[in-house]
Amino acid sequence: MDSTTTDDATGATDSADDFTPAERARGRALRRAQLPWALGGRLTGLALTLLLGLTPAGAGLVTAVGGWFGGSRTAEVLAGAAALVVLGQAVQLPFGAGVRVVRARYGLVTQGWAGWAADALRGLALTLVLVLPLALGLFALTAWSPDRWWLPAAGAAALLTVALSFLHPLLIEPVFNRFTPMPDGPLRTALLELAERDGVRVRDVLVADASRRTTALNAYVSGLGATRRIVAYDTLLSTAEPREVELVIAHELGHVKHRDVLTGTVLGAAGAAVAVCMLGLLSTWRPLLHAAGAADAADPRALPLLAACAALLGSLSGPAQCVVSRRIEARADRHALELTSDAEQFIAMQRRLALANVSDVDPPQVLELLFATHPSATRRIAAARAWKTTSGTADGTADGAASGTG
């Protein structure tokens, strides 16, 4: 590790020497190369949704595709919802391919185009399986009351958010990855002991076959209650030192310890309920209904309008969600440091993750504010050194707290 300069008064660290100029330039170049594709995909998808939702074009689409299946109200709802999903994903597909090409140039992609296309189809099928019943239920409520449908719908949205959080590791994650139990050995034992010392009960330690898609490193703790498990990418296990793996898992355990998953689920449920209430209010605004070519919220032709309003609300709330996420991630970092008392290995882990994932370690502030869900690598490393200074652990390791495999 290169030497650094520390400000004794604040514990802040000049981390300029943590990454070489070439390493910084590589991460910056990847960010600049993939940003137009990633941002272009978002903006194009949002533009299409707004175009269909705020003009009669969406109403015409719902009527046309519904007519292919008999023209009944149910046919218009299901066919219209399917058309919106398919068009939304189709228009973003070239941008996703562009991101993939860029990441492949930097050695981050191991999957062929056939596998990528299969994943896209899986994602489309999963989205349709989730969206079509929701659309049918939604318009059953609007038929019941075009003006008050959002009252029961808000409660249903909150309950569905909680259910999906619980079922995600069991039903959705296996669609895209294969998970196998981590073999018995020192690392598995160390991870389970780490969770036990932290007072976190986990069902199992699993390995995800991420290497068939990417060389990026990651790990997480997913699920609630009986579905909670530690998951490590096989790329992480084959690349990082065992002690670094422990530090990654310690960070993820911090999310559980501070009930971030549960809190996020509750906040997500509340946010879903509030969003539905706002959609209910917007769906009674006559100028919007007129612009969309719909009579009222019970009219299937209002489906694109509701989708557009939901997309716009989601986009506007994105930066605020990122602020909350960065604070949560910083707290999980502190938890990992307190649990392991190993600031030096934490710093080594952050450096390894940044280099393996070709991260921009110090991105422009505006991009960080708008899109970043995690603090930058330089911020995380500086925070670790500041913690080490204030904690008084001169060698970065507390007695009895650094046991493990690294």
| Cα–Cα dist 7/390, whole Å | 12
* Nearest Cα residue to 209 out of 199, 200, 218: 218
**Which of 214-223, 231-240, 312-321, 363-372 bottoms out in mean pLDDT, i.e. has the lowest?**
214-223
pLDDT at 278 over 70: yes
> Whole-prediction pTM value?
0.84
| pLDDT value, residue 392 | 59
Residues of the chain with pLDDT > 70: what percent?
92
Spot the catalytic one: 252, 342, 360, 368: 252
Structure tokens belonging to residue 319: 């930066």
Whether 193 is a known active-site residue: answer no
**For residue 200, what pLDDT band results from cuts at 50, 70 and 90?**
confident
Q: Which helix (H) or strand (E) holds 221?
A: strand 219-222
Residue 251 marked as a ligand binder: yes
Mean pLDDT, to the nearest integer, of 373-400?
Answer: 78
Mean pLDDT, to the nearest integer, of 377-405?
Answer: 68
Q: DSSP 3-state assignment of 395?
A: coil
DSSP string, 128-192: HHHHHHHHHHHHHHHHH-TTTTHHHHHHHHHHHHHHHHHHIIIIIHHHH--EEEPPSSHHHHHHH
Spot the catalytic one: 234, 246, 299, 333: 333
Residue 196 marked as a ligand binder: no
pLDDT at 15 over 90: no
pLDDT at 225 over 80: no
Whether 338 is a known active-site residue: answer no
CB atoms under 10 Å from CB of 328, counted, come to 18
Each residue's pLDDT tens digit, 144-191: 999 899 999 999 999 999 888 878 777 888 888 899 999 999 999 999
**Residue appearing with tokens 């934490």:** 346
| pLDDT value, residue 234 | 93
**For residue 220, what pLDDT band results from cuts at 50, 70 and 90?**
confident
| pLDDT value, residue 149 | 94
Residue 255 marked as a ligand binder: yes
| Cα–Cα dist 294/29, whole Å | 47
